[in-house]
């Protein structure tokens, strides 16, 4: 099995407009790729380059996973995201190992990438996102 690079660390925030200046100050870079991901009920923006970027996530509706996370835990680290060649193959592998999945099938994420999440109950309490890069990235 090949190593899976850390693509980004997701940080849940209540407001991108309020949080972005702080994280730009911390990282020394400007936010980019800001977009709403309707299916997940979030607005996201990225900071940094290469492996280990930051993704700030703010809820766009109260029933989103990020809104529920914020209500329960407050702002902070939401997930770790690993880049994989095929999200579907990884889901099949984790399912065969008995892992609890949040997503049974890949779904669209930010920037047109396909994503899926593994439940924290199967990963030592950490929400893990799998990301398959969109063609041309």
pLDDT in tens, 6-63: 999 999 999 999 999 999 999 999 999 999 999 999 999 999 988 889 999 999 999 9
Report the sign of the C-alpha dihedral through residues 82, 112, 45, 57, in that order.
negative
**Residue 67 domain-assigned?**
yes
Write out pLDDT tens, residues 85-133: 999 999 999 999 999 999 999 999 999 999 999 999 999 999 999 999 9
Residue 137 lies in a domain: no
**What CATH number should be reported for the domain holding residue 90?**
3.10.180.10
CA 132, CA 113: separation in Å to the nearest integer?
6
Confidence of residue 1 (pLDDT cuts 50, 70, 90): low
Q: Is 1 inside any structural domain?
A: no
Q: Is residue 33 part of a domain?
A: yes
Determine, yes or no, domain membership for 85: yes
The domain containing residue 81 runs over which residues? 6-132
Q: Where are the alpha helices (DSSP H) in the chain?
A: 16-27, 65-73, 87-96
């Amino acid at each position: 099995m090949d190593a899976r690079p850390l693509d980004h660390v997701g940080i849940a925030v209540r407001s991108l407009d309020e949080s972005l200046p702080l994280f730009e100050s911390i990282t020394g870079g400007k936010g980019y790729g800001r977009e709403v991901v309707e299916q997940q009920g979030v607005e996201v923006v990225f900071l940094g380059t290469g492996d280990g970027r930051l993704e700030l996530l703010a809820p766009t509706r109260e029933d989103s996973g990020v809104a529920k996370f914020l209500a329960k835990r407050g702002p902070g680290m939401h997930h770790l995201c690993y880049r994989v060649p095929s999200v579907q193959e990884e889901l099949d592998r984790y399912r065969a190992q008995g892992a609890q999945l949040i997503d049974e099938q890949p779904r669209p994420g930010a920037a047109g990438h396909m994503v899926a999440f593994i439940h924290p109950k199967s990963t030592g309490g950490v929400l893990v996102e799998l990301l398959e890069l969109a063609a041309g990235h």
